[in-house]
Structure 1
Amino acid sequence: MHITRTRPASAQGPAEHFTGTVWLDEIASPAAPSRLRMFSVHFAPGAHTAWHRHPHGQVLHVTEGKGLVQRDGGPVEPIRAGDTVWIEPGERHWHGAAPRTFMTHLAVVEAGDDGTTAVWEERVADTAYPSA
């Protein structure tokens, strides 16, 4: 057993992966052989990810606010505090805050054999997000 009492400082989400202001707090990144990674992700109103995929899928659990999530080819789905979303391995998707509210979610992923937790793609089109 290992208890972590200190955390790395909050980090701003990289502009190439996020639209708007997003902050990441690393919660868990245990040493090998574990591949678990867990973050608390804080989205300002309208902020969202670019399209991306996860090698072993992703669990999102919304802890506050309201947001949106979409898988490629599917409808934009509203999510709110208390909702949990399972994203299939390799499923292309994006997620973030609703246009006029903050949203925080826990994000849990398992790294691939090469240590990759996400494969990032293009940004969500500006015309697509507001229509959501």
Structure 2
Amino acid sequence: MHITRRRPDTRQGPAENFTGTVWLDEIAAPAAPSRLRMFNVHFAPGAHTAWHRHPHGQVLHVLEGEGLVQRRGGEVEEIRAGDTVWIEPDEWHWHGAGPRTFMTHLAVVEAAADGTTVDWGRHVRADGRPVSARPA
């Protein structure tokens, strides 16, 4: 057993992967052989991820606020505190806060054998339409 009492500093989500203000807190990144990664992600109103996918899928558990999530080809769906979202492996998707509220969720992923946890694509508007020419 290992108890973590000090965590890495909170860091801002990079502009190439997020629209708006997003803060990331690493919760868990255990040593090998574990490939688990967990983050507490804080989205300001209207902030969201770019399109992205995870090699082994992703679990999102909304802790507070209201948000939006969309998988490629699907409708934009509302999510609220207490909701848990399972995103399939390699499913392109985006998620973030609703337009009027903050949203915080736990994000849990499993890294691939090479350590990769995410493949980023282009930015989107909150309706899922692309806003840049980045490939995805």
TM (normalized to structure 2)? 0.92
Name the amino acid aligned to 1:8: P
Unaligned runs of 5+ in 1: none
Provide the residue aligned with 2:118 in structure 1.
Answer: 118
TM-fit CA distance, 1:39? 0.2
Matched, 1:64 2:64: yes
Q: Which amino acid aligns with 1:118?
A: V
Compute the RMSD of aligned alpha carbons.
1.2
Please list the CA deviations of residues 38-86 of structure 1 after superposition, one character each: whole Å capped at 9, or x if unmatched.
0000000000000000000000000000000000000000000000000
Aligned partners of 1:62, 1:36: CA distance in 2, in Å? 19
Partner of 2:13 in structure 1? 13
Q: Secondary structure at the match of 1:128?
A: coil
Rounded to whole Å, the distance in 2 between the matches of 1:89 and 1:57 is 4
1:68 to 1:3, Cα distance in 2 relative to 1, 3 A: same
- State the distance in 2 between where 1:69 and 1:15 align: 19
Contact 2:55 2:118 in 1 (8 A): yes
Fraction of identical pairs, as percent: 79
Return the letter of the residue paired with 1:88.
Answer: E
Residue 74 (structure 1) aligned with residue 74 (structure 2): yes
- Identify the residue that residue 128 of structure 1 maps to in structure 2: 127
- Alpha-carbon displacement from aligned partner over 1:94-115 (angstroms, at most 9, x marks no partner): 0000011000000000001110
TM-fit CA distance, 1:129 = 5.2
Question: Are residues 59 and 6 of structure 1, via their aligned partners in 2, closer, same or farther at CA, if it must alter by over 3 Å?
Answer: same
Q: Which amino acid aligns with 1:73?
A: G
Following the alignment from structure 2 to structure 1, what is the Cα–Cα distance between the partners of residues 13 and 37? 16
Letter in 1 for 2:107: A
For the residues of structure 1 that align with 2:113 and 2:51, how far apart are their CA atoms? 22
Matched positions, count: 129
Q: CA deviation at 1:128?
A: 2.9
Residues 19 and 4 (structure 1), Cα distance of their counterparts in 2 relative to 1, 3 Å cut: same
